[in-house]
Amino acid sequence: MQKRWTLVPARSAPAQRLQEQLNIHPALCSLLAQRGITDFEEARSFFRPSLSELHSPWLMKDMQKATERIAHAISQQERVMIYGDYDVDGTTSVASLYLFLQKVHAPLTYYIPHRYREGYGISRAGIDEAAKQGITLIISVDCGIKSVALIEYARTLGIDFIVCDHHLPDEQLPAAIAILNAKQKDCNYPYKELCGCGVVFKLMCALQEKLQLPARAAFAHLDLLATAIAADIVPMTGENRILTYHGLQQANHSPNYGIAALAEIGGVQRPLTIHQLVFMIAPRVNAAGRMDEGGKAVALFVAESFEQARGFALQLQSDNSDRREADKQTTQEALQLIEENPQWKNSKSTVLYQPHWHKGVVGIVASRLIEYYHRPTIVLTQSGEQVAGSARSVPGFNLYEAIHTCREHLLGYGGHFAAAGMTLLPDQVDAFREKFEIVVAATITPDQLIPEIIIDQELRLSEVTPTFFSIISQMEPFGPENLRPVFLLRGVCDTGQSKIVKEEHIRFSLKDQTNRVALTGIGFGLASRFELLRGGQPVDVVCTLEENHFNNKTSLQLRVIDIRQSSDNQNTN
């Protein structure tokens, strides 16, 4: 699929100031300026994130109320339940708080709702189970901010709630004893982009002071927090970046038994990076809730030995294998459905339904279909007497508003700009598909239907050196708002040694037009573009930089994202 190349505008004045202060490659100064770093002190803080720069937890609204209620529960030996979501953020939140509190409070349990029997967030079944166990305080983590009626129901049973959440609140808030959420309108906490586990971390920091616990008690599981930040796709800025930076160090030097077991079973190379947390660790944790029961992920993280954790990790590995197989099979079937229906293939949206598809993978499959067709996509399956599904959008298109416009065909829906979920009756699927296509076709722009590659900097091949890469590496951890830099190399040529590997990919061997500099690279899924390299004609390449580890040797290589015939035209679009 043809992609748009968009070069990020340079910020010349701040980059020039940085060049004078830092005396490093001008392209690096430009990269920093693009990320809002304009002077030496900001650069120092960026490259050396310090835990001393974290904000006081007491700045968060209701923190005093939350810690007082928990301290009271500890003094009175009340039974306390930690209640969390079944995804990575939720299960790491539950595990972190459980490991922290169990050192000072024995009557403690946790609860993860079943994805399919109970759904997302607080459930009536979970509250009833708490009442059955004699629980008088529930601390909800990564959920609860919208559970107004259910938290009121819990209150009638004599159960108090403390809500730790990071999702955007509605106008009406639940009647909890305390609500910890920096996104509340009247919360003065300076950093608003914490994930659920990040909010739990701030609670633990405050409790560390309140209960006079040993210094650093709240910092014992930063590797779990780093995993949550990586998996939840929150901005890699401010406190998130500081906590991830130090969490990765912990993951590599003294990891949680669960992280260590998943890394070993998954064959993850050390040192662990943010990329490995996102693509190797997180999917295995998520697979528990997708394919079976999310509580296994918490059991993994609170295991008391590596051997015990390894047992749970093997279960998650099995769940992940099942998830991958269901994902692969469903994606193949979905692509075939589109190919067999020309009106769907040429539409501006995709809405597919098969009753036998596994509910745990429909969101993943929707994302995969966007890789092929790049348009708003909804994948539906049977769920009891209803049809349920997940939706994913393309950049710039408001998916939630489009679904909202089709609400007369739905039983329920929820989500945000880029992703959503919905339920409907089987006899409404066709009508919903037709209405959704009408809405999308009327509101989506032509550019939104063409995938865009954002390019940070243009480089010469001769500038791609180990020294340059070492400084790029110090910009990690990468994530939203601090993405891995993408570079444009113009006018490079095949050395004659590039080749197709495994029928799908290209192993590149590229040189500049002086023939003095050559580099290798890998381009996944680019085999169809191999003709561009024939005859040694110059090409333009978009890539990132990475290290290749092979046969105990480490070398610098290009990770090629896209390639096109070279042009003297400086407009990359």
Show the domain range for 352.
341-449
Answer whether 529's CB lies under 8 Å from 540's CB: no
Cis peptide before 477 (omega within 30 of 0): yes
Which one-letter DSSP state was computed for residue 181? -
Do both 458 and 432 map to the same domain?
A: no
224-282 pLDDT, tens digit per residue, is 999 999 998 899 999 999 999 999 999 999 999 999 999 999 888 788 999 899 989 99
DSSP 323-388: HHHHHHHHHHHHHHHHHH-HHHHTSSSEEEE-TTS-GGGHHHHHHHHHHHH-S-EEEEEEETTEEE
In this structure, are 553 and 437 located in the same domain? Answer: no
Exposed, middle or buried by CB within 10 Å (0-12, 13-18, 19+), for 24? middle
531 domain-assigned: yes
| pLDDT of 552 higher than 50 | yes
pLDDT of residue 323: 93
Instruction: Locate 16 and state its tokens.
Output: 């020039």
- Residue indicated by tokens 């790491």: 92
Q: Determine, yes or no, domain membership for 334.
A: no
Each residue's pLDDT tens digit, 90-145: 999 999 999 999 999 999 999 999 988 888 889 999 999 999 999 999 999 999 99
Q: Is residue 496 part of a domain?
A: yes
Q: Are residues 368 and 292 in the same domain?
A: no
The answer on 200 and 158 residing in a single domain is yes
**pLDDT computed for residue 534 by the predictor:** 85
CATH code of the domain containing 502: 2.40.50.460
Residue 35 lies in a domain: no
With bands split at pLDDT 50, 70 and 90, how would you rate the model's confidence at 569?
very low
Residue 416, domain CATH = 3.10.310.30
Say if residue 387 is in the same domain as residue 430. yes
Say yes or no: 356 and 306 in one domain. no
Q: Is residue 29 part of a domain?
A: no
Q: In this structure, is residue 517 part of a structural domain?
A: yes
CATH code where residue 275 lies? 3.90.1640.30
Q: Minimal CA–CA distance to 365: which of 333, 404, 400?
A: 333
Q: Please state, as a whole number, how many other Cβ atoms lie within 10 Å of the Cβ of residue 269.
A: 11
Q: Which whole number is the average pLDDT over 327-337?
A: 96
Q: Answer yes or no: is 9 within a domain.
A: no
CB 145 within 8 A of CB 181: yes
pLDDT given at position 308: 97
Same domain, 462 and 433: no
106, 190: one domain: yes
Dihedral pair phi/psi, residue 488, rounded to 5°? -115, 125
Residue found under tokens 């509910």:
359
Most confident of 8-22, 461-475, 559-573: 461-475
Note the residue count of the chain: 573
Helix, strand, or coil (residue 480): coil
Place of tokens 């590599």: 252
Place 573 in a pLDDT band, splitting at 50, 70 and 90.
Answer: low
**Beta-carbon contacts of residue 426 (< 8 Å; ≥ 6 apart):** 355, 382, 386, 387
Taking a C-beta distance cutoff of 8 angstroms, is the pair 488, 458 a contact?
A: yes
CB 224 within 8 A of CB 301: yes
Task: Tell me the pLDDT tens digit for each residue of 414-431.
Answer: 878 888 899 999 999 999
pLDDT tens digit string along 173-214?
999 999 999 999 999 999 999 999 999 999 999 999 999 999
Return the SS3 of 184.
Answer: coil
Asked if the structure places residue 170 within a domain, the reply is yes
pLDDT for residue 2 is more than 90: no
Same domain membership, residue 461 and residue 348 = no
Identify the helix (H) or strand (E) that includes residue 368: helix 362-373
Contact, 236 vs 227, CB < 8 A? no
* Domain shared by 367 and 243, yes or no: no
pLDDT at 571 over 80: no
Q: Among the three residues 422, 449, 476, which one is the final residue of a domain in this structure?
A: 449
Tell me, yes or no, whether 495 and 549 share the same domain: yes
Does 177 share its domain with 287? yes
* DSSP secondary structure code for residue 272 in this structure: P
Mean pLDDT of all residues belonging to the chain: 93
Is 367 exposed, middle or buried (CB count within 10 Å of its CB: 0-12, 13-18, 19+)? middle
- Give pLDDT, residue 548: 85
| Max CA separation in the chain (angstroms) | 80
pLDDT in tens, 33-75: 999 998 999 999 999 999 999 999 999 999 999 999 999 999 9
Name the token pair of 18. 């940085």
| Residues 294, 117: Cα–Cα separation, whole Å | 12
Total domains in the fold of the chain: 3
